[in-house]
Chain A
Amino acid sequence: MKLLRAILVRLMTMSVTLIGAAVVVFFVIRVVPGNPIAMMLPPGATEEDIARLTALYGLDKSIIEQFWIWLTGVVQGDFGTSISLRQPVMPLVLGRLPATLELAIFALVIAVVIGGALALTGVRHRETGTETAVDVANGVGLSIPDFLWALILIVLFGVLMPVFHISGRISPSLDLPFVTQFYVFESIARLRFDLWWDLLKHMFMPALALAIPLAAIISQLLKQSLKETMHLDYVTLARTKGYGENHVILSEALPNAVLPTLTLIGVQFTFLIGGTVIIERLFSYEGLGNMAIDAVINRDLPLIQGIVIVFALLFTIINLVVDMMYALLNPRLRHA
């Protein structure tokens, strides 16, 4: 019951945050100089043409009125019509979201694998040169943001050792049988591993760039928690029972050390998704972030609003899920 009430309270604060975010974006982008309607018409359009289209998009009304119209639409799932692409915003955003989600999830998997492996290696060989090397790797990984990692990867593996694709989501020459936008999942479901491999070769560089800083954070925190756990009595007990070091770390220390890292991953995952905006641009990956930058350049107000709200919704949902997972996994909170 307590958990249910906690979730309800969280849902309430979530909606306040979302409405707040909507208000901020809505008012900020309406201060943007440059008339989006004038930009979409061919040069030589008359004043009447501009006025008619402005009215069609509702941009002649007051900002408060516009906000109300937009908000009532959003509640019904209608995010308006994109000015530059002349299509409803909702299908456009939903068409791009899967590409971004696949990239972000792939990056998360890479980060967990690398970060986990580094932490375990560091703890297994603690107080040796190996641990120092892990610490240095963590320090550098943490210090350099995804944008720079992406550029470094482009130079190293895109140009000097061209093994991976550094542009696009899939080779344009391929025939795509997909009905959903979740290409990676669908290629597995259809057993089309040729397409799957091509997708991965495109995704690997941007995903790795997004993953490196997160991997460093995971490695640092997990290693620290593991080292603290290794001093606890029950771990010493396991050792005196004669279990080997690998067993002690993996089966005894790890389950108890992993909880703080899990919480951290949740928060950091929202930062990672925020990072996709510029990374998608760098790798010409056709996701939501790349579309967002185009929308800003084209002054496409309805599309910008739609994308920002979808990002905000995604972030708040992830935070909610993380909190719930934490409550479920942490025995102290579960029985409280």
Chain B
Amino acid sequence: MLDGRGSVKRKLGARLWLSGTWLGLMALLALLAPWVSPHDPLAQDLFAGRLPPFWVAGADPAYLLGTDSLGRDVLTRILHGARIAFSVALIAGLATAFVGSLLGLLAGYMRGWVDVVISRLVEIWMAFPPVLFAILLIAVLGTGLTSIIIAIVVIDWTRFCRVVRAEAMNQSAMDYVASAVVAGRPRRDILWREILPNVLPTIVALLTLEMGIAIIVEAILSFVNLSISSDAPTWGGMIAEGRTSIHQAWWVLAFPLIVLFLTVLSFSQIGEGLKDRFDPVLR
């Protein structure tokens, strides 16, 4: 048994390292995008439209990963798209984690009517197809980065709420909470200083998963063309454009897709890895 656990941990380690390296690299490139990208993300060059990537015949080495139908550099747009993707992941992820965890903590610790109201809301939310709900919200809020972030929070808070509520209920039933109650500590104090620190690892693991999901939601909304603006270099927008010209220029779809795939996979691997790390059985 012990050997089995050891090997699980070793495998986790390699996965976490690879994912962390990829995300670190992408985050760095996103930060430095204006300085490291070879071209202007919005500059069109109709004479250089649909140039293939560098190893295919007919390529222009100035455009390493080729150009789209308007002659914009694919590599540059991927790097600038990373800025938007990582901003959404960070801000929307944190905001969703905050709202969902707060409601989950309240429901799980206070119980009573607070729990009834919040749980009923979660149930109503679960009755909507999330993608449809997101598109509807963007129609209401208008396009733009802020709208996307609000939409993600409104849709995804239930992910945190459900798990944190259950976890808070588990913690509330434990001896250390009972002894805090006996010691006469105020309820608010117990919630923030005893229960929250013990639920925090779960929240962090969920947050990492949520960052990957936020990037996907942004991509889906850009794909339906409801995201930032049709010109802005988003991965989803590039994918949408690539989907229409897929038979003429596969690289416009393939490269942003590969980057999106690896980024979402990395967030998810780290999230699952953290979940396992915090799991007392494996620890």
Question: What is A's interface to B at a CB cutoff of 8 Å?
Answer: 13, 16-18, 20-21, 24-25, 28-29, 31-33, 139-140, 142-145, 147-148, 151-152, 154-155, 158-160, 270, 273-278, 281-282, 289, 292-293, 296-297, 299, 304, 307-308, 311-312, 315-316
Question: By the criterion CB–CB under 8 Å, are A159 and B250 in contact?
Answer: yes
Shortest Cβ distance from A275 into B: residue: B131
Nearest-CB distance from B272 to chain A (Å)?
7
Q: Does B27 lie at the interface of the complex (its beta carbon under 8 Å from any beta carbon of A)?
A: no
Of the candidate stretches B88-96, B118-126, B166-174, the one touching chain A is B118-126
Question: By the criterion CB–CB under 8 Å, are A142 and B268 in contact?
Answer: yes
Q: Does B129 lie at the interface of the complex (its beta carbon under 8 Å from any beta carbon of A)?
A: yes
Question: By the criterion CB–CB under 8 Å, are B140 and A274 in contact?
Answer: no
Nearest-CB distance from A195 to chain B (Å)?
26
Q: Is the interface of B mostly helix, strand, loop or mixed?
A: helix
Of the candidate stretches B43-51, B68-76, B103-111, B253-261, the one touching chain A is B253-261
Q: Does B136 lie at the interface of the complex (its beta carbon under 8 Å from any beta carbon of A)?
A: yes
The tally of residues in B whose CB lies under 8 Å from a CB in A reads: 39
Question: By the criterion CB–CB under 8 Å, are A151 and B127 in contact?
Answer: no
Of the candidate stretches B54-62, B176-184, B192-200, B239-247, the one touching chain A is B239-247
Question: By the criterion CB–CB under 8 Å, are B135 and A296 in contact?
Answer: yes
Nearest-CB distance from B265 to chain A (Å)?
5
Nearest-CB distance from B251 to chain A (Å)?
10
Contacts of B219 in A (CB 8 A): 147
Name A278's contact: one of B136, B220, B246, B254 (CB within 8 Å).
B220
Question: By the criterion CB–CB under 8 Å, are A21 and B136 in contact?
Answer: no
Nearest-CB distance from B224 to chain A (Å)?
6
CA separation between A106 and B246, bound complex, in Å? 26
Q: Does B281 lie at the interface of the complex (its beta carbon under 8 Å from any beta carbon of A)?
A: no
Contacts of A147 in B (CB 8 A): 216, 219-220, 223
Given A311-B128, A312-B128, list of 19 further CB < 8 A pairs? A20-B121, A21-B124, A21-B128, A33-B142, A142-B272, A143-B268, A143-B269, A144-B265, A145-B213, A145-B264, A148-B261, A148-B264, A155-B246, A159-B246, A275-B131, A277-B129, A293-B132, A304-B136, A308-B128
Known: A32-B139, A33-B142. A311 touches B132 (CB 8 A): yes
CA separation between A29 and B141, bound complex, in Å? 10
Contacts of A16 in B (CB 8 A): 120
Q: Does B130 lie at the interface of the complex (its beta carbon under 8 Å from any beta carbon of A)?
A: yes
CA separation between A158 and B247, bound complex, in Å? 9
Contacts of A154 in B (CB 8 A): 243, 246, 253
Name B127's contact: one of A17, A140, A278, A292 (CB within 8 Å).
A17
Question: By the criterion CB–CB under 8 Å, are B264 and A311 in contact?
Answer: no
